[in-house]
Structure 1
Amino acid sequence: MVIGIRYSIPNVVGRGVTIIKASTRIFQRNFSSEKTYVFQQKISDHIKIELDQIPIIRPPKKLKESKKLGGKSQVQAELEQRPEKVPVRPKKSRARKKATDQTSDITNSNSNIVEPYIDETQYEGEVYSDIGGKTSQNSLTDFYQGIKDITDHYANKGPDYVVLMQVGSFYELYFDQATKFSSMLGLTLTKKKLRTQDVAFSGFPDYRLDKYLQTIFSSGLKAVICDQKHDSVKNIIERPVDRLVTPGTVIDDGLRDFHCNNFILSMTLPEDPFKKDFTSLKIGLCWADVALGRFFVLESTLNDLMANITRINPSEILINDSVDIDSLISGRWFPELGDLRKYYITTYSAPANKKKLPDFVDRFTDNKKLVNSILESWTVKEVSAASMLLHYLDECLPTYKFNFDLPKRSLPDTIMQIDPRAAQDLELTETIRGGFKIGALANIIDRTLTDPGSRLLSTWLLAPSTDVKDIAKRQSYISVFLKDEMFVEDTISILKRTSDINRTIRRVDNGRAELSEYLELANTIFLVDELRDMTVKSSNSTLRKLVLPLFNEFVEAKILLKLAKRINRTINPKTMISKPDNYKLDTDITRRNWSVQPTATPRLQQMRADYDNLLESYDTLSTELKAQCESYGYNAAVRLIRELRTGEFVVELKSSNKSLERMIKDAKFEYKEKTKTSVKIVNPEWKTLGNQMLKLEQAITLEEMVILEDLKSSLLRSNLELSKVSPVIETLDTSISFTSLARDKNLVCPIVDKSTHFEIEEGRHLVVEEGLKGNIALIENFTANPCFLDAGESWVITGPNMGGKSTFLRQNALIAILAQIGSFVPAKSARIGVIDKIFTRVGSSDNIYRHQSTFMVEMNETAIILRDSTRRSLAIVDELGRGTSTAEGIAVAFASLSHLIKRNNSKVLFATHYGSELEKLILNDPELTGKVKFYHTSLSKIRAGNLPIDEKIVFNHHLTEGVSYHSHALEVAELAGFPNDALNVAKDSFKKLVK
């Protein structure tokens, strides 16, 4: 049975109510008939505790849960027999010393403040229990039975649920959960001995929750969080399921990176899709970022599904449980879906009492009529996907207040399609080897200063625009900013001080925001207004005409500046530096720092003035007492405290001077407690002052709570207006990021139009170029190369391995992507007709999981390109046909190139070692003559006169028209350090084969 103090909330001001912030720790002792445990309980924000009179509880030395006295437990009967008033002086408790020793390892050793400690052996009060009374010999107590019921429930749902039960300041696993997952989490498995059985048990401190959740996610599991709650009506502790945490439902700041979106995606497939004709199959998609309030829907074709999933880049994918997931991701039905294996997948079945989509209208911030009109415009597939996602979020986050922005339908026709293979081959967000961010394109081009700006840039990179006007507008910002460095520098200075408003408003709605975040929100509003004012005053008319429209919706939301001013009038700015003083038991009673400005309301202003008068009285008494101590020849630190165990106000004198006793005796003070370094005394005048200060502080605290709650309501009512702030920040941030990139990397503004031209003069690969600059061992610059293509044309690139063929292919695809996200590009000049899709077939390996050889993987990828490529598409194909015999490989390569040019009419960059063979086949095909051009790189050795210098091989990466008839494999093998014996055998074999 757990014994503790019941925390209650009085209905009137001034009845001893105070607030203990989250940093305050209260310790409780768990009494059982067999063993004593100590645990630490973290008090959540704004718990109200009645402190007028904290009585003493003295439980019996050995509690017997099953023993009854007149229908009541032994503890309850003993408590009822005691008088209401208790002695002021507490008895020393050996149990307290033991408990303090046990908890010393989890208190903050770096803090100079002694954390308050509640020892229930020294208190009387109402008793609450989370174990229960009488139990049968073969049953568990209510506490353990409740835990078992929850763990059994989720065990029946699947093997991938980890139930974390909060007990005090620890999260614990019990029964089979502890046995199964303790090793994976790196926890010590132990047992709790009960009368009837041993219970497997392991746990960790609550402040390390984020660390263990990451481990759970990385193992493909889900976490069920059961937080401890005290029901003041029933007077019991309950541990209901607070949230089910998966990668897509994360609301804890420590578990996600706000530089990028954290989308959870739902998609609804037919109950038995494997019997459907996939060529016409439509799939509903819905995705949302819970912590940022973003919500989207889309109806996708099966052919475009993986490209859409790639650009969304979800942390979790939700699929209806009627689908056989193993068959789906095997790729046997539709090969592209094999890439789903890279994602965290959850299967879900909506509840029997399923809601209709309009029932979720309150989940969105806009007016109901507008939201309903949008929902009615969705297709059946989109509605199905949205309904599944919203039901799932309701189940996972039952206590979380969703606050989604106006739902939007994504328009696939306005974005470039980049499938998973292309995103991987081009290393847009992470490298192929190792999955590192350093070395990826995103790492090179992202110079944003804010989280909203970084998220927007990440979105653009995976979904480049195909809207020529939109691209031109983004380019215009860069062009103007390059000519006005002063404006850019001032804007950068302002952007650095802004906060993530979308994130803050969701934290406010769920009671998770600190008061400092309110001030940061107000400050961001003022900073955006400062940006607008700076733009208005700019002497650059072109800049004013371009940038001012960004602020139109911000200006129309006139309530924003009023709201920001109200926040500053209400909240004490000192909270940005240090948190307000908290009333702590057994510490200094005085409070000199508050959450709310004294002028927030007339009532608060009067109470604060009265409290200041009491502080003056306190300072006067302290001065007099110090003077009295000095008259006896020593200095002493003086403070008024309220004792933890008795609730009594006492004066603490810090001094080890022996003459202290004589002064106390002469002054006729009453001794309370004495240690080697301090003494506590009782004085009526000080006691009266302490009671007055405490009651007034409690009244002020309640008044502050009313003020802050009203401010919170005003913020939430202005949610729609607040959503107008972030677009200004993110647009300016990404534009300035592109400006900085263009200036430092010598980029040019490309012409992006509706033609089918692809004309690049002296193009470069940004990432490789950056790598060469950072490698002091290489004394070479990047070799720029041109590329001129139109619809139905191809360049076939030949040359030695390591000659730069693959780099050339990738660099042109990256130039196209950079151009269509609105950035300048690494080239001397560029003209690009809008590209609708980019395909890559670059390198392959066996897929053992799907029982596919290297050649089969090649064929699957090539089939997708041949099926989906259009006259506006760019396909880059590297060494197709190498996974089979030479003759068959040549045949496949030629057939693929011919199909892409004749049937798809696409732009194709084709690298191969079958140059001479393909040249013969192409020259014999009149339809291909003139549409295919051959270029090659070469290899040479550095020489001084007739003498070789260390036999050094140099690759000439400059493209020259014609075919390379040698791949120089033996030279590359020599360069790689091939053993001489093996190299000689290779040379002899080659001579025999070419005869």
Structure 2
Amino acid sequence: MSTQARSLSPARPEPDGVPQAKSAQDGRVTPMMAQYIEIKAANPDSLLFYRMGDFYELFFEDAEIASQALGIVLTKRGKHQGQDIPMCGVPVERADDYLQRLIGLGHRVAVCEQTEDPAEAKKRGAKSVVRRDVVRLVTPGTITEDRLLDPGRANLFLAVARRRVSDSEWRYGLAAVDISTGRFTLGETDAAGLPAEIARFDPREILVPDSIHDDPELAAFWRETGAAITPLPREGLDPASAERRLKEFFGVATLDAFGTFDRAEIAAAGCALFYIEKTQIGSRPVLYPPSREEAGATLAIDAATRANLELTRTLSGERAGSLLAAIDCTVTPAGARLLGERLAGPLTDPDRIRDRQDSVAALCEDGALRDRLRRILKRSPDFARALSRLGLGRGGPRDLACLRDGLLAARDLGLELAIAPNLSRELAEAARTLQALDTSVADRLAALLADELPLQKRDGGFVRAGYDAGLDELRELQQDSRRFIAALQARYANETGCRTLRVKHNHMIGYFVEVPQNVGEDLLREPWKDVFVHRQTMAGAMRFSTVELGELESKIASAADRALKIELGLFEAMAQDLVAMSSDIAAAAQAMAVVDVTAALAELAMRLDWTRPAVDRSLSFRIAGGRHPVVEAALKREGQPFIANDADLSGKDAGHILLITGPNMGGKSTYLRQNALIVVLAQMGSFVPAKEARIGVVDRLFSRVGAADDLARGRSTFMVEMVETAAILNQATARSLLILDEIGRGTATFDGLSIAWAAVEHLHEVNRCRALFATHFHELTALAERLPRVSNATLKVTEWQGEVVFLHEVVPGAADRSYGLQVARLAGLPVAVVERAKTILSELERSDRENPKRVFVDDLPLFAVAARPEPAQTAAPDPLRQALESLDPDQMTPREALEALYRLKAQL
């Protein structure tokens, strides 16, 4: 049996005195099981964690699902309608670990607690069941527990609503909420931009009204998002109801103070609040007034491009190896989340970008200030999330300590910035926010909290000695009692001969004696059965009470209860004071995150010799000495240099297209990706890995690099390639940047080449955007002769003593071969296969030279292929073949064979 979870023994009595669940022959159920069935019926889409003593129990199908998902023992408890009741359970003290695993697997959990004391239940009758009710629903987008959250990633849920603007067009409202920090963001987009916006937010859960969820045109999209999809009923989600819900939640008569919102945005916001009310069940999270993101304010990057560029996660789903991992030098969880947010949504306003760059530049120039700020920030815990838990009533003493340390760090950071010269506008605003924060509550927290803090407030002992005189007196009484408990434990251990006997306490059964099960069996018999009264049988242990222990408990209980009541009162008063300051504290937390990100990017720039890019509203794109930040870091760890390369796609009225040819493994994909990553870094406000960079703001970034089968949707690799290419050609504007690799290579040569050719023409004439187009169709290089904004570049390669050497250097011109056989040999193909391929290639090239067939498109030579030989009309006899056929080697002597060989040679 697992040591982390267990199932109750069918013979064990209930903590609340209810006998085990079983059904009579007429189908009746016990009161406890009737209560469970009623609560489960109200939460059919969630696993029900049903509190029974020190465990959360699961029954029926829930137990079977949890047992398999968590790897815990599945047992049974009585019968229901003639069938055994499957059951398993997890300890309350370890519930967070199991919740994390269940949520990670996509399950929802309803947490059902006992809402009254068992003693109160007994007053209603000996068989009365303790009242229980669901106190919260735990879903992927609504978790707040520190151990369940990724400290460096926002835990968003996203609500979606829509309004019709024409017979064929919808506008979608989005509400992104992170209840672990209070973030509440609204936005709007059209149907084409919806996938990119959802990819930018990267929510853990998406709330979709039935009308949208059931739309057949969107059904496949919801299946493929990767987030948990939660359908919601349509009732009460209309804009009017949503606006009323918003006003009531924030206590305002009008939403005008928050901004001007579209009807779809208001509907989405109302949907988000409805879900919060449904999942938090009476608890009110600390949410800040909604802020609106203007459409087009961030660089649009669709999900496929994000995956190809590996911005925040690699293609395998790992953070390590992503761009975010390569640039993350932040020292606080809030800073790490803000860095990820900025990387996911680079700006499109050059003025805002320059504000961020000014901040990075200021801390690049003042290294001493940067170091001092980072030392202070390292002391700051994740106090924004701690404040959220306090607001929801789930906080503990350690959350108070988190607020204490965070506020003290905020004070020190504000003082440091106050005396710093030449601050940028962004840093100066952060300084003002921090200096305006009333941090006197941090001093009160420091005086209140003890040095060693329990995890749960119900455990007590978190108030510092000397803070409250009445509490100190009660603690002295408890200390005397504890000494008596220790003496009693020693006496019982000596009398029974059990050295592992322990006197323990829990909130359900009070004080008890716990011994191993084999010793417990002896205590059930003479001479001990009149001294030790059996209470519980556990897995491997038994619990007993004694008359002495009961008398002692009654003496201790009064002092302990009064002491805990004082501590809880002090806790609640402090928590209320902090929640009342939530707006100021949240603003300070955000200001500290901004300082952290700025200092981290400055540290990165100085450490790696990155430069400040010029970002404007032109169509420029000039990169001198550009480098791939992730590949460069990997090579540096191996002691190898990275070959920097230039790129110029600048244009006045339209962008330039660079056709890139070159050998396999020459570095084309790296070159494509590095230029896209430089754009992302530049527009998020970072310095970039280049000697010099000038970038006209990019509105949309598209990537089609590599593809794979989508078997679930019945799509081949080529179909996936064409779908992505179609999206690019239909959406790219003159301000967009495209990186395209191997368009058309997934089908027959003529088909693929014609598609690639037409795509380049369309990009040049219709989209008029900046593009890097890598290809192995060398024939495409002829387009540079007829399209004025198309030019060629290639990756240099050389051969040394029969070996191919990739130089990874991009130069003007076109490649004439791909070195595929050399790469095949490096990949480990059998030597015989490589040699045979060489022979075939040589024959094909010779045939092409001897019998070329020219193909023209619009009078432009496209490519040459070997002409098929015409069938021979009258084939003349071959004398050499006739001579060979006349020989019989088995009948020839060695001398005759040698003479025959000379005769054959003479006929050549």
Relative to 1, partners in 2 of residues 1:873 and 1:150: Cα closer, same or farther, differing over 3 Å? Answer: same
2:133 is the counterpart of 1:240: yes
The counterpart of 1:389, out of the listed 235, 251, 272, is 272
Instruction: State the Cα distance separating 1:374 from its structure 2 match.
Output: 5.0
* Structure-1 separation of matches of 2:504 and 2:712: 69
2:449 is the counterpart of 1:572: yes
The counterpart of 1:294, out of the listed 183, 190, 198, is 183
* Structure-2 separation of matches of 1:491 and 1:543: 13
Alignment of structure 1 residues 240-259 onto 2, 5 Å = 240-259=133-152
The amino acid across from 1:186 in the alignment is G
Instruction: Give a deviation string over 1:889-944, Cα, whole Å, max 9, x none.
Output: 222112211222222221011101112x2233442x3xx22x111010133233xx
Aligned to 1:7: none
2:621 is the counterpart of 1:758: yes
Count residues with an aligned counterpart.
786
Q: Is the 8 A contact 1:535 1:544 kept in 2?
A: no
Instruction: Give a deviation string over 1:471-526, Cα, whole Å, max 9, x none.
Output: 22222222222232222222122111112222111111222222232233133222
Alignment of structure 1 residues 355-370 onto 2, 5 Å = 356-361=241-246, 368-369=252-253
* Structure-2 separation of matches of 1:248 and 1:480: 37
The amino acid across from 2:450 in the alignment is P
Aligned to 2:199: 310
2:212 is the counterpart of 1:344: no
Relative to 1, partners in 2 of residues 1:582 and 1:805: Cα closer, same or farther, differing over 3 Å? Answer: closer
Aligned to 1:88: none
The amino acid across from 2:232 in the alignment is Y
* Structure-2 separation of matches of 1:822 and 1:743: 15
Structure 2 unaligned residues grouped into runs of 5+: 1-5, 486-502, 512-530, 533-544, 849-908
2:643 is the counterpart of 1:783: yes
2:781 is the counterpart of 1:919: yes
Q: Is the 8 A contact 2:23 2:82 kept in 1?
A: no
SS state at 2:286 partner:
coil
Relative to 1, partners in 2 of residues 1:699 and 1:857: Cα closer, same or farther, differing over 3 Å? Answer: closer
Aligned to 1:738: 601
Aligned to 2:11: 36
The TM-score with structure 1 as length reference comes to 0.72
2:297 is the counterpart of 1:414: yes
Aligned to 1:111: none
Instruction: Give a deviation string over 1:686-743, Cα, whole Å, max 9, x none.
Output: x99x999875665454344433332222222222222221122101110111112112
Alignment of structure 1 residues 701-720 onto 2, 5 Å = 701-720=564-583
Aligned to 1:523: 405
Instruction: State the Cα distance separating 1:417 from its structure 2 match.
Output: 0.8
Aligned to 1:586: none
Instruction: Give a deviation string over 1:737-758, Cα, whole Å, max 9, x none.
Output: 1112112211111111122101
The amino acid across from 1:800 in the alignment is P
Alignment of structure 1 residues 274-673 onto 2, 5 Å = 280-323=169-212, 327-328=216-217, 337=221, 340-350=224-234, 356-361=241-246, 368-369=252-253, 372-373=255-256, 377-432=260-315, 434-538=316-420, 541-543=421-423, 547-557=427-437, 560-569=438-447, 571-576=448-453, 595=463, 598-599=466-467, 604-605=468-469, 607=470
The counterpart of 2:794, out of the listed 936, 944, 967, is 936
Relative to 1, partners in 2 of residues 1:620 and 1:195: Cα closer, same or farther, differing over 3 Å? Answer: closer
Instruction: State the Cα distance separating 1:259 from its structure 2 match.
Output: 1.2
SS state at 1:825 partner:
coil
* Structure-1 separation of matches of 2:453 and 2:184: 32
Aligned to 2:95: 209
Q: Is the 8 A contact 1:953 1:975 kept in 2?
A: no
Aligned to 2:539: none
Deviates more, 1:512-521 or 1:810-819: 512-521
Q: Is the 8 A contact 1:519 1:573 kept in 2?
A: no
Alignment of structure 1 residues 80-95 onto 2, 5 Å = none
2:678 is the counterpart of 1:815: yes
The amino acid across from 1:595 in the alignment is V
The amino acid across from 1:344 in the alignment is A
Structure 1 unaligned residues grouped into runs of 5+: 1-26, 42-126, 332-336, 584-592, 623-639, 649-671, 674-679, 943-947
Aligned to 1:55: none
Aligned to 2:59: 174
Instruction: Give a deviation string over 1:652-705, Cα, whole Å, max 9, x none.
Output: xxxxxxxxxxxxxxxxxxxx99xxxxxx9999xxx99x9998756654543444
The amino acid across from 1:427 in the alignment is E
Relative to 1, partners in 2 of residues 1:980 and 1:696: Cα closer, same or farther, differing over 3 Å? Answer: closer
Instruction: State the Cα distance separating 1:195 from its structure 2 match.
Output: 8.7
The amino acid across from 1:786 in the alignment is D
Q: Is the 8 A contact 1:818 1:824 kept in 2?
A: yes
Instruction: State the Cα distance separating 1:825 from its structure 2 match.
Output: 0.6
Root mean square deviation of aligned Cα: 4.0
The amino acid across from 2:182 in the alignment is G
Q: Is the 8 A contact 1:29 1:38 kept in 2?
A: no
Relative to 1, partners in 2 of residues 1:451 and 1:694: Cα closer, same or farther, differing over 3 Å? Answer: same
Q: Is the 8 A contact 1:752 1:819 kept in 2?
A: yes
2:843 is the counterpart of 1:992: yes
Deviates more, 1:730-739 or 1:889-898: 889-898
* Structure-2 separation of matches of 1:800 and 1:514: 61
Instruction: State the Cα distance separating 1:857 from its structure 2 match.
Output: 1.7
Relative to 1, partners in 2 of residues 1:904 and 1:385: Cα closer, same or farther, differing over 3 Å? Answer: same
* Structure-2 separation of matches of 1:642 and 1:188: 26
Q: Percent identity?
A: 30
The TM-score with structure 2 as length reference comes to 0.78
Q: Is the 8 A contact 2:698 2:737 kept in 1?
A: yes
The amino acid across from 2:780 in the alignment is L
* Structure-2 separation of matches of 1:133 and 1:193: 5
Relative to 1, partners in 2 of residues 1:505 and 1:550: Cα closer, same or farther, differing over 3 Å? Answer: same
* Structure-2 separation of matches of 1:368 and 1:856: 52
SS state at 1:405 partner:
coil
* Structure-2 separation of matches of 1:736 and 1:579: 35
The counterpart of 2:689, out of the listed 812, 815, 826, is 826
SS state at 1:342 partner:
coil
SS state at 1:725 partner:
helix
Alignment of structure 1 residues 673-712 onto 2, 5 Å = 698-712=561-575
Relative to 1, partners in 2 of residues 1:36 and 1:903: Cα closer, same or farther, differing over 3 Å? Answer: same
Instruction: State the Cα distance separating 1:344 from its structure 2 match.
Output: 2.1
* Structure-2 separation of matches of 1:642 and 1:169: 12
Relative to 1, partners in 2 of residues 1:646 and 1:457: Cα closer, same or farther, differing over 3 Å? Answer: closer
SS state at 1:795 partner:
strand
Q: Is the 8 A contact 2:312 2:323 kept in 1?
A: yes
* Structure-2 separation of matches of 1:786 and 1:646: 74
Q: Is the 8 A contact 2:174 2:188 kept in 1?
A: yes
SS state at 2:116 partner:
strand
Q: Is the 8 A contact 1:316 1:343 kept in 2?
A: yes
Instruction: State the Cα distance separating 1:188 from its structure 2 match.
Output: 3.0
Instruction: State the Cα distance separating 1:454 from its structure 2 match.
Output: 0.6
Instruction: State the Cα distance separating 1:763 from its structure 2 match.
Output: 0.4
Aligned to 1:140: 29
Instruction: State the Cα distance separating 1:993 from its structure 2 match.
Output: 2.4
The amino acid across from 1:984 in the alignment is E
* Structure-1 separation of matches of 2:85 and 2:389: 37
Instruction: State the Cα distance separating 1:186 from its structure 2 match.
Output: 2.6
Q: Is the 8 A contact 1:248 1:315 kept in 2?
A: yes
The amino acid across from 1:562 in the alignment is S
Q: Is the 8 A contact 1:165 1:172 kept in 2?
A: yes
SS state at 2:451 partner:
helix
